[in-house]
Amino acid sequence: MSGKVIRCKAAVAREAGKPLVIEEVEVAPPQKMEVRLKILFTSLCHTDVYFWEAKGQNPLFPRILGHEAGGIVESVGEGVTNLKPGDKVLPIFTGECGECRHCKSEESNMCDLLRINTDRGVMINDGKTRFSKDGQPIYHFLGTSTFSEYTVVHSGCVAKINPDAPLDKVCVLSCGISTGMGATLNVAKPKKGMSVAVFGLGAVGLAAAEGARIAGASRIIGIDLNPSRFNEAKKFGVTEFVNPKDHDKPIQEVIAAMTDGGVDRSVECTGNVRAMISAFECVHDGWGVAVLVGVPNKDDEFKTLPVNLLNERTLKGTFFGNYKPRSDIPGVVEKYMKKEIEVEKFITHQVGFTDINKAFDYMLKGEGLRCIIRMEA
């Protein structure tokens, strides 16, 4: 079908908060520096739900959501030389052009051209969509739109991976799991024997805990308001649990008392600005490092006493765990292939494509971590 329009099924979000509708849509051929992918497996991330609900951001409908997925290259557009039809790939919600200052820096993964843009519903090449139905455009999401049997993605947002990698497993490495794990391993960088506090025990937080376990942390303290998460978190290396509701003083003071002055590292994965402040203030002076992963509301302000910084605590932020999509994610997949990391324990449900709304139900009810959606029967 190279160069031709493909008709396929997609789960279209037509209204905020309303069930997705399985429809036949048209997917145009890839243009310059684009590739068309056949999606085989996708999963649901909380970010999809957030934009489906359209709370706190500009609503854009009709739209094809989805950004955590695995598939194969169906065809490539003009100028694409690093990918070819048949390649096994992970589409990524952010990109790596390879030419800008960020891409050329060893310290950044925030590509000038292809970094995440939640408002853009079109392709950057020509400002148009590649999806349509009855001549009407359907908007893209995060440059990936994986809730479709076929999608078009900029080639800089596609990681070519080991052809033997099982896509129904490694697809979850294209967003949340890599984000949390990378925040610990690449940014917090705990040394063996250190203590780590993880705020928020959802999928990203548990991935951060998994990173701490891999790094050899001696204590991994999980902080969450939902006590039902505590038992599951043990599988990811969490050794102790704290529920802020059980204490009548700030949680940073509780953690400092537990750890003789504070933890060595902390990773915040909730997006709640109070949790961010607690994560920073609970690390030990002199060497403590706090890493912020969660995305706050755009008007939130982070407030702390300057002395907390002067006392040699370090505050860092991270985006996608500091992984460069094309350069680094293939290596993360290799770690899975070598059994150095586990992803199966993050996958708690599976549904067929026509049952995609069940995945939303699971997440809205707080049941499970990741639901894999099989595109084919």
**Residue from 8, 34, 42, 67 carrying the catalytic annotation:** 67
**Residue from 103, 171, 269, 282 carrying the catalytic annotation:** 103
* 111 among known catalytic residues: yes
* 14 among known catalytic residues: no
Q: Provide the pairing of β-strand 136-138 with 219-223.
A: unpaired
**Residue from 94, 96, 97, 210 carrying the catalytic annotation:** 97
Q: Which amino acid, 366?
A: G
**Residue from 8, 171, 175, 282 carrying the catalytic annotation:** 175
**Residue from 8, 45, 157, 171 carrying the catalytic annotation:** 45
**Residue from 36, 63, 102, 115 carrying the catalytic annotation:** 115
Picking from 12, 20, 226, the residue whose alpha carbon sits closest to that of residue 133 is 12
Environment class of residue 228 by beta-carbon count within 10 Å: exposed (0-12), middle (13-18) or buried (19+)? Answer: exposed
Picking from 53, 44, 47, the residue whose alpha carbon sits closest to that of residue 18 is 53
Residue 105 token pair: 């820096």
* 171 among known catalytic residues: no
**Residue from 34, 36, 68, 74 carrying the catalytic annotation:** 68
Give the length of the chain.
377
**Residue from 26, 53, 100, 374 carrying the catalytic annotation:** 100
**Residue from 8, 111, 157, 282 carrying the catalytic annotation:** 111
* 219 among known catalytic residues: no
* 97 among known catalytic residues: yes
* 371 among known catalytic residues: no
* 45 among known catalytic residues: yes
Between the CA atoms of 329, 330, 335 and 337, what dihedral angle is there, to the nearest 10 degrees?
130
* 103 among known catalytic residues: yes
DSSP string, 100-150: SHHHH-TT----TTTS--SS--S-TTTS--SEEETTEEEB-STTT--SBSE
3-state DSSP assignment of residue 157: helix
**Residue from 34, 36, 42, 47 carrying the catalytic annotation:** 47
What is the rounded CA–CA span in Å between residue 172 and residue 49? 16
* 115 among known catalytic residues: yes
* 175 among known catalytic residues: yes
**Residue from 23, 26, 46, 334 carrying the catalytic annotation:** 46
Residues annotated as catalytic are 45-47, 67-68, 97, 100, 103, 111, 115, 175, 370
